[in-house]
Chains A and B, each alone.
Chain A
Amino acid sequence: MTSSAFMYLFLAAAVAGGVGMLALRHPIHAAVSLLGTMLCLAAAYAMLGAHLMAVFQVIIYAGAIMVLVVYIIMLLDLGSDDARAFRSVKVFVGIPAATVLVSVLARLAWHRAAGTEPRPGLLSSIGDPAAAALPEGFGTVASIGRDLLGRYVVPFEVTSVLLLAGIVGAVYLTGRDSAGLKAQGNAVGEGKGTGDGGQAEGAPAGGEEFAA
């Protein structure tokens, strides 16, 4: 009872965050409400017992992606006016898409409430948790680790190629300039021997960060 109450609380907060993201004018406010949505979803995952999913949600979405988003908004110094350009897109694409989605969900909810089966084949087993009998220990660190380094070891390792390609690509696109700047920064630092940290700030660090 309490847990489902918390569940609804988190889900409501997640929805509120989503609405806030769309409605708020200022990009950073929107980003913060999106962050709230992600954290609430993580909490919902945790309440469903998917602890690892919850942690990944926080580490990857909140900890990595949203940090980058906030960072970029900060660096570009976007103001409220920049968001207005998208309003027509919101109206002409967003509203029909949302209508379709909501009507599908409403129909499912209607069928569930009425206890009838939707048209066979259309998402028929969704919302029927009994149909999905999960193996023992599903979703724990151990089982996911065993899958990743067991059956899926090749995709797991091949992902490192993807990351390497990303790093090389980032260095390739930005390399020349930052290499020059870095050499300059080092020369200044070593030449004077004084802490002239501001000189070498940003560029080398920035490059490595995007690579990460």
Chain B
Amino acid sequence: MTPNDLDLRWGLMVPELLVLLAGVLVLLVDTTVKAPDQDRRGIQTGISTLACLAAAGYTAVVLGSTSGTRTGFGELFVVDGLAVWFKSVVLLSAALASLMSERWLRNHRLTSGGFIALLLFSTAGMLYMVSAADLVMLFLGLEIMSIPLYVLAASERRNARAVEAGLKYLVLGSLATGFLLFGISLLYGFTGLMGQPSTCIADVVAAVLRSAPDVPALAVGGGILLFVGMVFKVGAVPFHMWTPDVYEGSPMSITAFMSVAVKATAFAAILRVFGGSGVLEALRLHDLLFALCALTMVVGNVAALAQSSVKRMLAWSSVAHAGYILLGVLAGTQDGLAAVLFYSLGYAAMNIAAFGVLVHLSEKGHEVERLDQLRGIATRVPLQAAILAVSMLSLMGMPPLVGFWGKLYIFRAVVFADFPGHIAIAVLGVLMSAVSAYYYLRVVVVSYMSDATAPAPAHRPSFGNGLATATAAALTVLIGLAPGAFLALARDSAESLRASSAAVAPAVDASTATAVAVSPQPPRR
């Protein structure tokens, strides 16, 4: 195979390449630009933000303008509606997170080269994972996403909690990667069993569907392991143990980035492999996912009730939200998938807004941790307090903010879906959502209705963080005001998933035919 047969369509990979280039550029700034640390931090966060925004713009405008599925690079790389949507979400989160990081780096007097570069590399990994049409690419993307995050979680390496966060994330993350890899190898073996060994996601899905309803244990085991590996990154119960500690120990901006972008990426991968084509049912994963959703919602919300640290509370709340989003996957209908897409975007906006306010209130040696540190911030920093309140209300699901619409679409999709117990789990979701009101409202109450105990800390506000917070808050409100347009977009994007899985069906027959023609011995089934 010569390079020309590979359909190297570089146009499809522009966002990834932009982000990688920016990462290298950021590293070069450290060695070439002779300037005070502060200016360099500005330059580097600026490069990072601009690159991410440019990539997001390219993704949304150029790649998003033509619908339909485009593959390239030996059919390993795919750009479709799903990829465009999630890439936009990831790139937006990355841009906002790098804006927020400047503040944290300044507080800790750290040089930013490595930090920002790792953030960008991780983003690139996410982009590759979202675009993966092959399990090999998926695995590589996952690793490139995770390894920088293990390091970033431990950025503050003089702090025992940060080191704990990094180590826990590394060890448990590696375990999950092991599951994922083992799952991939079993599935590869399974496709070989079906006649044509392949790691291509479409081939694997086709092979599973072809062998349904009597899917071999090999495929079921591989599917479960693959699913577990992905669900770990989502932070669903019982694979959530790392979440609170890692989120608590990491720098605030990284926590925001992880809770939003990693989650979105993992959902993109789950949708790409298990979404919409009936693989979930064929592999008998549906009941497992049902239990997972119920557990995740209950444990996440109940544990969040008991937290006195805002960061930990937000960590548990992110577990709970993972449960809501998984409900959309569970529904499996077109509406459900569209709701997953919509919710990922909305969650990114509101969660980043909340963390942005916390970053604003933090100083070195004065991280906002405990809830009572938020006492009376409404009088001290009214604008920030308002943004915090908006994001909390949105996370709770208050209309007309984006969180409300997200939950509404998810629950509606579940109610109209067709699987046993769908009403029950929708009711459970709504109940748990009501439970969450307690801990979200507590933040609002504390910040508005109690007197300030500590004097306002004197610090310079960070332009970058302010911009990020304002953008996220504005998105929270704006999407909430016009949910229909965004839902329509999400529906279009999810349509591509349905289209590509429909394309699998004729491909099944074709590949069976070739397999029979090529292999000396016909496949067993």
Interface bits A118-129 vs B (CB < 8 Å: 1, else 0): 001111111000
Cα distance, A120 to B211, chains bound together (Å): 12
CB distance from A11 to the nearest CB of B (A): 21
Contacts of B115 in A (CB 8 A): 172
Cα distance, A165 to B218, chains bound together (Å): 34
Contacts of B211 in A (CB 8 A): 121
Interface size class of A (residues with CB under 8 A): 20 to 34
A130 touches B521 (CB 8 A): yes
A154 touches B74 (CB 8 A): yes
Contacts of A175 in B (CB 8 A): 114
A168 touches B121 (CB 8 A): yes
Chain A binding surface SS class: helix
Cα distance, A175 to B117, chains bound together (Å): 14
Decide yes or no whether B524 CB sits under 8 A from chain A: yes
A164 touches B216 (CB 8 A): no
A151 touches B74 (CB 8 A): yes
Contacts of A125 in B (CB 8 A): 192-193, 524
A154 touches B77 (CB 8 A): yes
Contacts of B144 in A (CB 8 A): 158, 161-162, 165
Decide yes or no whether B54 CB sits under 8 A from chain A: no
B121 touches A155 (CB 8 A): no
Given contacts A124-B524, A151-B1, A151-B6, contact A169 B125 (CB under 8 A): no
Cα distance, A155 to B215, chains bound together (Å): 30
Decide yes or no whether B143 CB sits under 8 A from chain A: yes
Decide yes or no whether A49 CB sits under 8 A from chain B: no
Q: Pick the contact of A165 from B121, B154, B215, B519 — CB < 8 Å?
A: B121
Decide yes or no whether A112 CB sits under 8 A from chain B: no
Decide yes or no whether A6 CB sits under 8 A from chain B: no
Cα distance, A125 to B519, chains bound together (Å): 14
Contacts of A132 in B (CB 8 A): 192
Decide yes or no whether A150 CB sits under 8 A from chain B: yes
Given contacts A165-B147, A168-B27, contact A123 B218 (CB under 8 A): yes
Decide yes or no whether A166 CB sits under 8 A from chain B: yes
B218 touches A121 (CB 8 A): yes
CB distance from B453 to the nearest CB of A (A): 36
Given contacts A122-B218, A162-B140, contact A153 B154 (CB under 8 A): no
**Nearest A residue (CB) for B128:** A158
Q: Pick the contact of A169 from B147, B192, B519 — CB < 8 Å?
A: B147
Cα distance, A121 to B213, chains bound together (Å): 12
CB distance from A12 to the nearest CB of B (A): 25
**Nearest B residue (CB) for A166:** B147
Cα distance, A155 to B134, chains bound together (Å): 10
Decide yes or no whether B157 CB sits under 8 A from chain A: yes
Decide yes or no whether B302 CB sits under 8 A from chain A: no
Given contacts A133-B520, A168-B27, A172-B155, 8 further A-B contacts (CB under 8 A): A120-B214, A121-B214, A122-B218, A133-B521, A153-B3, A155-B140, A161-B124, A172-B114
Q: List 15 A-B contacts (CB under 8 A).
A: A120-B216, A124-B524, A133-B521, A150-B3, A152-B136, A155-B76, A161-B124, A161-B144, A162-B143, A162-B144, A164-B121, A169-B114, A169-B151, A172-B155, A173-B151
9 cross-chain pairs, A with B, having the tightest CB-CB distances, nearest first = A172-B114, A121-B216, A169-B151, A150-B1, A151-B74, A165-B121, A154-B73, A162-B144, A165-B148
Where the two chains meet, the residues of B that have a C-beta atom closer than 8 Å to any C-beta of A are 1-3, 5-6, 20, 27, 73-74, 76-77, 114-115, 117-118, 121-122, 124-125, 128, 134, 136-137, 140-141, 143-144, 147-148, 150-151, 154-155, 157, 189, 192-193, 211, 214-218, 519-521, 524
